[in-house]
Structure 1
Amino acid sequence: MKKTIALMAIVWLPLWLLAQNDIRISVKDVNTKESLIGASVQLKNSSLNGQTNTKGEFRLTNLESGTHTVMVSYLGYRNVTKEFSVPGDASIDVLMDPATFLADEVVVQATRASANAATTYKNLSKEEIAKNNMGQDIPYLLNQTPSVVASSDAGAGVGYTGIRIRGSDAQRINVTVNGIPYNDSESQGSFWVNMPDFASSVDNIQIQRGVGTSTNGAGAFGASINIQTGQRIDTAYAELDNSFGSYNTWKNTVKIGSGLINDQFTFDARLSRIESDGYMDNAFSDLKSFYVSGAWYGKSSFVRANVFSGKEKTYQAWNGVPEELLETDRTYSEFTYEDQTDNYTQTHYQLLYSNQIDERFLINGALHYTRGKGYYEEFKEDDMLENYQLPPVVIGDETIESTDLVRQRWLDNYFYGLTYSVNYRPSKIANITVGGAYNQYRGDHYGEVIWARYSSDLNLGDKYYLNDAEKNDFNVYAKGDFRIGQLNLFGDVQYRKIDYTLEGIDKDLKLLDQDVNYDFINPKVGLTYSFDNNSQVYASMAIANKEPVRDDFTESSVSSRPSPERLTDFEAGYRISARDFNIGLNGYAMLYKDQLVFTGQINDVGAAVRENVDKSYRIGVEMDASWRPIEDFMWRATAAFSQNKIKDYSYYIDIYDSEWGLDGQQSETLGLTDIALSPNAVLSNEFAYVPFDRAEIALLSKYVSRQYLDNTGDQSKSIDPFFVSDLRLSYNTKIKGVKNVGITLKINNIFNELYEASGYTFGYYNPDGNLETYNYYFPQATRNFMLGVNLKF
């Protein structure tokens, strides 16, 4: 009750304090004088924003006296900026010209939530992303958004990083780049290390929590991250962005653009390098990437070609640190072999096409191709020769059955396909989209021994295991928005078909042959009611289905194959936007059938082991708010409180005999337990102050409550709660010949908190009958800094 009263006070008190001046904005086509429904309206230097109603009107409420600026945008029209005075003006007519060019933003329109969507979402602009973009991966740039927990294997946000939203890991978070799937087809995870400094080529990001709207690629069980790369820039530019910081971390970025050539062509390019020794011992990262884009613009259509690539070499830090060393040697690495590294190159090719046929029809299409190849290398001490299909070595009368060796495990893959959408607006009150995708994945998995102390009959290049994977992923969806007065109705249904085949010998030398087929239907419905005071209430229900990942198949047989997961997601919320204040409150109930949950164990390359549980749920509330009490001060805050439970959970512990052979398992049913790595509270806070023009001081904080390493709810196998704060100082100015000189100093973890953000556990009964449990953690960096200098020409 106290929390409820506090939240109500936060929502209403600032609004009560504001002056009661209202302005009516009327938006129309300059030629036809028809009202434009759904035009976006933003009050400059304010959080007040929204869309015009069925009359093409929007009300700006609670305005202070003085001069204000309103910005209006609408797809297919040129943006309009207009000043007005309070008191004085009671209404403003905004007449909009049809745009000469089609805007790039149409390429993601089909897979994005609109301002009136009956779901919860967060939009991040290019400017917001750039504030913290100093070399860390995208999960860290999203860390201040609701329900997000970011972690880093190397501890400092460079190299392998992870993200969880509402407790759901990356395998459940759908990621698209310009509407094209990014998730790996087999593991369904998103490996941000393969696209270093990609944020420098991103124009905007939308995060939809829960199932969200229909999209392409892997099913969204925790969230969707929809990324759009750079849009058209009409003037030529050059940009240098360099950062240096703790752990010998360097980021060097060069960007250039041609501007609009002959009113039709643009070219943009970026080259980046990121290096870091990492917070953890030996956990270095050597990352390189580039981005090249060219576009042609016609009167009502455009074509854009993107090529971007990332090459990474990272020292393996995915095993973490044993619990007993956290107090004495928290940066410990168990590896000493110099080339215990992960090496991978991934290149993406995209060809995007959009055509506004007339005022009712918009067509989008994209062809894509991704080429990936790489390996991880590791030293194995005294490993059995038979594990590599090698016979024993006989030297004189001695038979040698084991040896020290170095092995590489390779992944060589291709991903290609097409996506499309057709948007149809038959009237002012209806908007219908039909879209889909067909994608194919082909991947070879194989291993080689590149050195052995006793090599038997080994020849360099011999593959001791080899298996092929093929996956065909087809989906089609139809969605529609319909306005009835202040009420907006939403409907969405998707059909998705997956064919997945595995053939060959796996790394444990077991036959892998499996062939599975899935057919999923994913419906969604919702409604939104808009009030005159720039606020909305909404509610939605969605069903999503998701196939298991590769490891779920390779760690099982046909008879024990895991089942697909099914999620029913209920969302309801309230949004309000005023000049100096906005807030979004959202409640959700995510009810799972056969959810695949972590057992707490990982396999030999750091991948989590999962199992089906019959019934489980995630139920919670979220808040996303900002308040500007005075002109130079902004307070942003998010809060998420949840219960994440498994009903009637049973777990199993291996039992070993005197010869360390597996002698069965012991099981125990616990009833209602917490889902692993799903905190009950995630809070973030940002205070931003502008002491003088073009300068900013910001304090960013993050709190994450206790996380359990497995599903038993045992506190001895958990991650302690942590509260971490960062300080960001920035200043921008102009000098002769340079459009902008930006200097940013970011001090991370300023209070030197010792904390861990992720981990895993495993245990067994030893031959003496005693239970042995091992907890491993991923410590995050103590106080560290990054200093960046940005030059724009």
Structure 2
Amino acid sequence: MNFKPLKKSMLTVVITLSTASVYYAQTAKDTVSREKDIEQVVLTGVADIAKDRKTPVAVSTIKEAQIVERLGNQEFPEILKSTPSIYATKGGGGFGDGRVNIRGFDTSNTAVMINGVPVNDMEGGTVYWSNWAGLSDVTSAMQVQRGLGSSKLAIASVGGTINVLTRAADKKKEGNVTLGLGNDGYLKTLFSYNTGKSDKGWATSFLMSRTAGNTYVDGSQFEAYNYYFALGYKPNEKHDFQFTFTGAPQWHMQNFQSTIETLQKYGSADKPNRRYNSNWGYLNGEEMSQSVNYYSKPVMSLNWDWTMSEKSKLSSVLYGSWGRGGGTGVLGSINGTSINSLPKTADGLIRFDDIVSWNQGNAVVWNPSVAPGTGINKVNATPGIATRTNGLVKRAHVNSHDWYGFLTNFQHKINQNWNFSAGLDGRYYYGYHPGIITDFWGNSQYRETNDNNQKPYYTVTQAYNAVPSANPFAAAIKDKTQIASRNYDGEVMWLGAFGQVEYSNDNLSAFLQGSFSEQGFQRIDNWIVDGVTKQQGQVVNTKTGFKYLSGYNAKGGVNYNIDENHNVFVNAGYYSKQPLNYAVYPNSQQVLNPNLKNEKIGSAELGYGFRNSKFRGNLNLYYTSWKDRFTRITGLQMKDQAGVDTRNIYANIEGVTEIHMGAELELNYKPLDILEFTGMFSMGDWHYKGNAQGSLFDENNNAFTPQDGASSRTLYVDKIKVSDAAQTTASLGFTVTPVKAFKVFGNWNYYDKYFAVFDITKASSANSKGALELPSYNLFDAGLSYTFSLNNNQKLVLTGNVYNLLDTYYISDGKSSIFEGDSNAKGITYKGIDIANQVYFGFGRTWSASLSYRF
């Protein structure tokens, strides 16, 4: 995963009218107990925590005990994989490179929050889980609200909201030492201690951990740390202060998709090598990868809850985040051949020793069938000097940022039935995006030619280590004369206001919520000569100036408790959502998109719940329409009216619409105190609705009419399936507790109707085949935990898990849609899929175990 930290900053104001209630499957008595438990151990002042049989939204909650027992060495979002309409995978399999989709929406349209504070990338909306891998150590609960949810902020909760709730400083007095082991050298050590609350209202919480080893994939070394410090002070019943500072610096080698054909080459036809990673090899006998992600993103927050009176409360948080790091890649080529196309070893590894030798001017035989000194075997003409077109160096694209924000929420109880709240949300983000050299691979210098201020080139001689700094506040880059590959910054400002009105009585609860937000984007290209450099035919400046965009949303819902067993709810909402930064300044240039439009999202949901002492069930039906998605076709080549070949024609497509609808069932049955069953089934129909059109423009942004007179392009996307998440999922699980201290649990997950990634800009014909459906698959996991009670309330807790128990071969992620008979197909299939397709295979059988001493 390459980090693209929030490149632009924004300050947002949001106006919301809402009722906070959540759909959590539990009996009324247990629900009250669990909600109090959540409130006691986490920071909830500005977090919108949903309440069972009250908040009219679909919700699932994962508690701390389940994370401790079952997560092991899985990716953090995989703890959600048995939740309806969620598809969580390991991605390429690098540490922290996992991903999660909710109802067919990725994290750019799913809000991820920590204690109610949004953490989605402010430029692209994405979430990089490697930044947050350490959260699993300090999470007290994770709540997933599917759909628009109950959050009052104007956030991108189109698919849903993931709210991670961390431990508070005043958690009960306790210490913990943990040792964790797993497959492929996985090793985790952890120490934490909570003081509990003193008589004077002070409390502290502290945690440190280290995790290192490899994942299941070859060439996947990683090392990660996690630290957490919280200080709480409650001088009286009116005021409660909580200060937290947490971070998870890490580096990890990465894996990118390969074709099935390649995986078969280094495995076999029926069992492709699912461990194969094309990014690595050996240099001087040590593992070397061309793709390393390294990052540190500490977050500091200060929460203040002020109980102003019996009826009024003000909750506020000030926070800051300082991201430092980036992702590595390669600059240059050898005799016109990129690193990924150079001949590899017999095992498919990159020949790094030969790359260094060639860079230094030695003769290297890359291809024995080519005459020595000719073609790909030519000797380097400029030994020790690398450029963009000659010689190879390892570079990093830095994606650092400074992010500051505040959030304040005033709540007032008007009378026994009516409540309202209102607040402000402000954020400022500045992103730094230079490039640096991390390894010269035998060269002594790299010549950079893309800076328009220093023509024809300048020389770079300094290499930086691709590891996060021990100082979380360190400068993004110290020596600006040593920048290579790229050099731009971004600012984002966001300011919003929100308000909410809520009504509730014994059986009925209802809410109305609305928000308004204003965000501004500015792009800063440090390699541009002000008023001289041209991009897309326009003279541009280093700074674009801010482009401000407004958005709003409105949501409402009603929950009715028919009796103590049955309840129904309905909710609906509408979003006018600002486009992301890549739509404001397309193609990473300084030219503003002249056809900006807000995305329009409408959603409605109907739910039913049943509770009794042994059984709980939730059934949800949902419908979401997502209109005016930004889509651009680039790089077109066609003849103009005079018959002259013209390149770089583009079209901004308008009217792209997605429909996401489906049904979700979630069940829990406890026939005996020692036996509990869980189940889930979700079925979605996510597809594009209607075709879309866009006018043609040349590279100077002028309207373009080709020789054939067709001045627009049509995307034939009607009824094509939305890609990259299983539309049908199911799960069955059990937990047996034969004695109080001992648990055995297992889980079956089923995935179907998964459609591989499909670039809709390629749907230029009514005969487009759309997205490729991949084979369905089943996975089984099993585990246990045992608690040994010692003297003085001390405990030893043992956990063990086996994932993919049956060692199933399955494709977890499809990255292309090549059908049999396509021009680029191989004509050979694997489980019905042409082997030219690029994929990720899921991990084989893996395991983890831990031993914790709690005192």
Q: TM-score range by the shorter chain?
A: 0.7 to 0.9
Q: 1:720 aligns with which of 772, 775, 790?
A: 775
User: 2-side partners of 1:155 and 1:781: how far apart?
Assistant: 8
Q: 1:438 aligns with which of 407, 426, 442?
A: 426
1:84-483 pair list within 5 angstroms? 106-110=44-48, 112=50, 115-155=53-93, 158-216=95-153, 218-233=155-170, 235-297=172-234, 298-317=236-255, 319-327=256-264, 328=267, 329-336=273-280, 338-340=288-290, 341-382=292-333, 402-449=390-437, 451=440, 453=443, 455-456=446-447, 457-460=458-461, 461-483=482-504
Displacement of 1:696 after TM fit?
A: 1.2
**RMSD (Å), alpha carbons:** 3.8
Displacement of 1:720 after TM fit?
A: 2.0
Q: Tell me what 1:54 maps to.
A: none
**Runs (5+) with no aligned partner, structure 2:** 1-18, 268-272, 282-287, 339-379, 448-457, 462-481, 636-651, 695-706, 827-833
Displacement of 1:682 after TM fit?
A: 1.2
User: 1-side partners of 2:731 and 2:426: how far apart?
Assistant: 39
Q: Is 1:686 paired with 2:721?
A: no
User: 1-side partners of 2:525 and 2:334: how far apart?
Assistant: 23
Q: Tell me what 2:610 maps to.
A: 576
Q: Tell me what 1:84 maps to.
A: none
1:414-563 pair list within 5 angstroms? 414-449=402-437, 451=440, 453=443, 455-456=446-447, 457-460=458-461, 461-483=482-504, 486-504=507-525, 514=544, 515-552=546-583, 553-555=585-587, 558-559=592-593, 563=597
User: 2-side partners of 1:672 and 1:41: how far apart?
Assistant: 32
**In structure 1, the residue corresponding to 2:719 is in which secondary structure?**
strand
Contact kept, 8 Å, 2:20 with 2:48, in 1: the verdict is no
Contact kept, 8 Å, 2:654 with 2:692, in 1: the verdict is no
Amino acid at match of 2:680: T
User: 2-side partners of 1:73 and 1:358: how far apart?
Assistant: 25
Q: Tell me what 2:854 maps to.
A: 792
Q: 2:626 aligns with which of 587, 592, 600?
A: 592
Displacement of 1:513 after TM fit?
A: 6.0
User: 1-side partners of 2:683 and 2:632: how far apart?
Assistant: 21
Distance 1:666-1:118 versus aligned 2 partners, 3 A rule: closer
Distance 1:145-1:681 versus aligned 2 partners, 3 A rule: same
User: 1-side partners of 2:23 and 2:668: how far apart?
Assistant: 18
User: 2-side partners of 1:147 and 1:394: how far apart?
Assistant: 56
Amino acid at match of 2:430: R
User: 1-side partners of 2:621 and 2:805: how far apart?
Assistant: 33
Displacement of 1:351 after TM fit?
A: 0.4
User: 2-side partners of 1:197 and 1:579: how far apart?
Assistant: 36
Identity %: 16
Amino acid at match of 1:379: V
Deviations 1:549-593 (A, max 9, x none): 344444375347664322101011011111111011100000111
Displacement of 1:627 after TM fit?
A: 0.4
Displacement of 1:542 after TM fit?
A: 0.6
User: 1-side partners of 2:632 and 2:621: how far apart?
Assistant: 25
Deviations 1:92-112 (A, max 9, x none): xxxxxxxxx998554145464
User: 2-side partners of 1:71 and 1:675: how far apart?
Assistant: 36
Distance 1:613-1:704 versus aligned 2 partners, 3 A rule: farther
User: 1-side partners of 2:497 and 2:244: how far apart?
Assistant: 24
Contact kept, 8 Å, 2:87 with 2:725, in 1: the verdict is no
Distance 1:741-1:484 versus aligned 2 partners, 3 A rule: closer
Contact kept, 8 Å, 2:23 with 2:55, in 1: the verdict is no
Displacement of 1:334 after TM fit?
A: 1.6
Displacement of 1:176 after TM fit?
A: 1.2
Contact kept, 8 Å, 2:394 with 2:437, in 1: the verdict is yes
Distance 1:505-1:675 versus aligned 2 partners, 3 A rule: farther
Displacement of 1:48 after TM fit?
A: 4.5
User: 1-side partners of 2:486 and 2:249: how far apart?
Assistant: 25
User: 1-side partners of 2:484 and 2:392: how far apart?
Assistant: 18
**Runs (5+) with no aligned partner, structure 1:** 1-36, 51-59, 61-69, 80-100, 388-392, 602-609, 653-662
Displacement of 1:202 after TM fit?
A: 1.4
Contact kept, 8 Å, 2:460 with 2:484, in 1: the verdict is no
User: 2-side partners of 1:399 and 1:495: how far apart?
Assistant: 51
Displacement of 1:623 after TM fit?
A: 1.0
Tell me the matched-pair count: 682
User: 2-side partners of 1:38 and 1:776: how far apart?
Assistant: 43
Structure possessing the higher relative contact order (Cα contacts under 8 Å, 6 or more residues apart): 2
Amino acid at match of 1:788: S
Displacement of 1:374 after TM fit?
A: 0.7
User: 1-side partners of 2:630 and 2:750: how far apart?
Assistant: 27
Q: 1:622 aligns with which of 658, 661, 664?
A: 664
Deviations 1:394-452 (A, max 9, x none): 869x9995222222211121110100101111111112111231000001111134527
**In structure 1, the residue corresponding to 2:158 is in which secondary structure?**
coil
Moved more, 709-718 or 567-576: 709-718
User: 1-side partners of 2:614 and 2:49: how far apart?
Assistant: 30
Displacement of 1:458 after TM fit?
A: 1.5
Distance 1:745-1:74 versus aligned 2 partners, 3 A rule: closer
Amino acid at match of 1:486: N
User: 2-side partners of 1:41 and 1:477: how far apart?
Assistant: 23
Contact kept, 8 Å, 2:42 with 2:168, in 1: the verdict is yes
Distance 1:752-1:402 versus aligned 2 partners, 3 A rule: same
Moved more, 329-338 or 518-527: 329-338
Q: Tell me what 1:4 maps to.
A: none
Moved more, 210-219 or 469-478: 210-219
Distance 1:269-1:103 versus aligned 2 partners, 3 A rule: closer
User: 2-side partners of 1:475 and 1:648: how far apart?
Assistant: 34
Distance 1:40-1:189 versus aligned 2 partners, 3 A rule: closer
Q: Tell me what 2:720 maps to.
A: 673
Q: Tell me what 1:31 maps to.
A: none
TM-score under structure 2 normalisation?
A: 0.73
Contact kept, 8 Å, 2:46 with 2:409, in 1: the verdict is no
**In structure 2, the residue corresponding to 1:198 is in which secondary structure?**
helix
User: 2-side partners of 1:246 and 1:154: how far apart?
Assistant: 17
User: 2-side partners of 1:435 and 1:135: how far apart?
Assistant: 39
Contact kept, 8 Å, 1:619 with 1:644, in 2: the verdict is yes
Moved more, 553-562 or 347-356: 553-562
TM-score under structure 1 normalisation?
A: 0.79
